[in-house]
């Protein structure tokens, strides 16, 4: 029961953090490109790489990796924003959103795992 309560709390915290980071970055960037979602997903990839590289119990890994970071990052928003860019015939930004997110996301996850190795 405590694990489920932890998932609920961690998931809520992750969702609120996503909202705050996305909003802050989007306001500062003030462009049509979804920089807020990119920042959230890249920072989430670093965190998930870090968590995966640490020796954690399965329960802690579930709470942090799935509940907290899983609710912080957002695949669905990334795809919706990419689709909207394409609908608006902004094909280059749409393609860049996919390419940059994948390439930098993989690099961010690797960085997180490298950071875990140093701890």
70 is annotated as contributing to ligand binding: yes
- Range of weakest confidence among 2-6, 94-98, 110-114: 2-6
Indicate if the pLDDT at residue 3 is higher than 90: no
CB 51 within 8 A of CB 69: yes
Average pLDDT, integer, range 61-74:
93
Could you list the residue range(s) of the whole structural domain that residue 55 is in?
1-117
The Cα–Cα gap between 31 and 33 comes to 5
> Residue 30: pLDDT above 90?
no
CB 37 within 8 A of CB 74: yes
Does 24 belong to an annotated binding site? Answer: no
Does 59 score more than 90 pLDDT? no
* Backbone φ and ψ of 54, nearest 5°: -90, 155
Quote the pLDDT of residue 58.
84
Angle, CA of 34, 35 and 37, to the nearest 5°: 70
Q: Whole-structure pTM over 0.95, yes or no?
A: no
- Number of domains comprising the chain: 1
Section 35-41 average pLDDT: 98
* Residue 18: alpha-carbon gap to chain centroid: 8
- What are 96's two structure tokens? 């860049």
Contacts 24+ apart (CB under 8 A), 14-17: 14/67, 14/68, 14/69, 14/70, 14/71, 14/72, 15/71, 15/72, 17/72
């Amino acid at each position: 029961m405590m694990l489920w309560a932890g998932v609920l709390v961690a998931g809520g915290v992750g969702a609120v953090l996503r909202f705050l980071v996305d909003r802050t970055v989007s306001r500062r960037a003030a462009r049509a490109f979804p920089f807020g979602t990119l920042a959230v997903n890249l920072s989430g990839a670093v965190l998930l790489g870090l968590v995966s590289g640490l020796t954690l119990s399965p329960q802690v890994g579930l709470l942090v990796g799935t509940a907290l970071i899983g609710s912080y990052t957002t695949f669905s928003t990334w795809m919706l924003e990419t689709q909207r860019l394409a609908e608006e015939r902004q094909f280059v930004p749409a393609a860049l959103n996919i390419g940059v997110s994948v390439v930098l996301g993989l690099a961010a996850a690797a960085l997180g795992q490298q950071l875990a190795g140093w701890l």
